[in-house]
């Protein structure tokens, strides 16, 4: 991590509701963050920003330049889900809003924990793994070219895709993984497919190993992505921190999230060395939007990760403490049997939020 920066007096956070259930879970998350920060005596200034259908209606763009400009001045932000399938046809092409934000601010690391909670049905009750996903290149066509896309059609019947792996990006994400492992159980698994992609995946594997040599206290293993997927299902306790490329990380983190209970509890942050964004792993769920049925837990936990990240970077233990309070409040809510319908519970979005708010004070 980079050196501690000048400590701001008030935490300034962006708030982007997005689409679908974002209009319910983002305001709920704001309330929970407000409460946790108030308990530890920290001040926060919220900056509401537009993205998605509302932004199209007001600015003719799902991600207007005004939003980009405001984000540049903030410490971090909370991003709701987007539903670009519902956008007018002229706004469906190109990277989705979340991807455009990641690219604009160089958010090269996607940190996705998958953890089982007592009180939540799970196929892997001992699950506690963090997947560190390289977020800026790989096989994603919207992130691997300077101009244009890395996916194209040679003829109407032949399509090709370019995968990009660089030593610099591979070493950068590996360093994030090894630093994180030092805070956990000191084990990093490098997931790759170098047996059939020896140049690209071989470069990724070797770059990660080279960085690992700087961390002699961290155990290093490596696996092919297909084997890793099978082993996650069989026994997730074999893993602590997994580092992998973009596409593999996307797939494995969704698998791990479901094995731990549900994507409804799958938190994540996207970060560079200077900026971070809380964004739940799930989508906009337009079928239940507006019915007070959405599960806000993943975004609560993502916001907690953001507060911890900002606290470490700025030397503000109270921000980290607020994040810990939110995590504890979600955990104890589940333990007490409070959950939304997707987890087999009876609580509405607002009821679950109230339970979490009450428990923020108990730690």
Catalytic residues: 140, 193, 226, 250, 254
For the beta carbon of residue 202, count every other beta carbon within 10 angstroms: 15
Please report the sign of the dihedral spanned by the C-alpha atoms of residue 190, residue 194, residue 197, residue 201.
positive
Exposed, middle or buried by CB within 10 Å (0-12, 13-18, 19+), for 290? exposed
Angle between helices 200-212 and 167-182 (to 10 degrees): 40
Query: Could you give the residue ranges of the DSSP H alpha helices within the chain?
Result: 22-39, 53-59, 65-71, 97-104, 167-182, 200-212, 225-234, 246-260, 297-314, 317-335, 349-359
How far apart (Å, rounded) are the C-alpha atoms in residues 171 and 265?
29
Pairing state between β 241-244 and 276-278: unpaired
Can you read off the two tokens belonging to residue 232? 């996650």
CA atoms within 13 A on the CB side of 107: 23
Can you read off the two tokens belonging to residue 64? 């207007």
How far apart (Å, rounded) are the C-alpha atoms in residues 215 and 269?
24
DSSP labels, 107-140: --EEEEEEE--TTS--S-TT-EEEEEEE-SSBT-
**For residue 270, what are the contacts with CB-CB under 8 A and spacing of at least 6?**
102, 107, 109, 110, 111, 135, 276, 277, 279
CA distances (Å), origin 86, targets 27, 72, 182, 339 = 22, 27, 43, 29
> 284 near 295, Cβ under 8 Å?
no
């Amino acid at each position: 991590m980079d050196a501690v920066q000048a400590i701001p007096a008030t935490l300034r956070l962006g708030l982007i509701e997005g689409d679908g259930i974002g209009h319910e879970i983002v305001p709920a998350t704001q309330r929970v963050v407000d409460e946790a920060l108030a308990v530890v005596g920290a001040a926060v200034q919220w900056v509401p920003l537009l993205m998605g259908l509302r932004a199209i209606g007001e600015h003719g763009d799902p991600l207007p330049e005004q939003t980009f400009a405001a984000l540049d001045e903030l410490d971090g932000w909370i991003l709701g889900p987007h539903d670009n399938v519902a956008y007018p046809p002229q706004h469906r092409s190109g990277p989705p809003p979340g991807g455009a934000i990641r690219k604009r601010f160089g958010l090269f690391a996607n940190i996705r924990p998958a953890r089982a909670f007592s009180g939540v049905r799970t196929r892997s009750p001992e699950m506690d793994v963090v997947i560190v996903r390289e977020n800026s290149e790989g096989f994603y066509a919207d992130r691997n070219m300077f101009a244009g896309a890395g996916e194209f059609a040679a003829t109407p019947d032949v399509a090709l895709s370019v995968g990009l792996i660089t030593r610099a990006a591979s070493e950068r994400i590996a360093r994030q993984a090894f630093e994180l492992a030092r805070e956990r159980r000191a084990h990093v698994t490098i997931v790759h497919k170098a047996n059939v992609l020896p140049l690209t995946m071989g470069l990724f594997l070797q770059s990660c190993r080279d960085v690992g040599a700087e961390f002699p206290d961290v155990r290093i293993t490596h696996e092919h992505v297909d084997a890793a997927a099978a082993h996650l299902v069989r026994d997730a306790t074999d893993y602590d921190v997994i580092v992998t490329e973009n596409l593999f990380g996307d797939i494995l983190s969704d698998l791990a999230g479901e094995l731990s209970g549900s994507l409804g509890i799958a938190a994540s942050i996207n970060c560079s060395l200077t900026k971070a964004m809380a964004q739940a792993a799930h989508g906009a769920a337009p079928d239940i939007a507006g019915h007070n049925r959405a599960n806000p837990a993943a975004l609560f936990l993502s916001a907690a990760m953001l507060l911890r990240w900002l606290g470490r970077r700025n030397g503000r233990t109270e921000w980290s403490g607020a994040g810990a309070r939110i995590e504890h409040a979600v955990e104890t809510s589940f333990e007490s049997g409070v959950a939304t319908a997707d987890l087999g519970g009876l609580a509405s979005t607002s009821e679950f939020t109230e339970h979490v708010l009450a428990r923020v004070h108990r730690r």
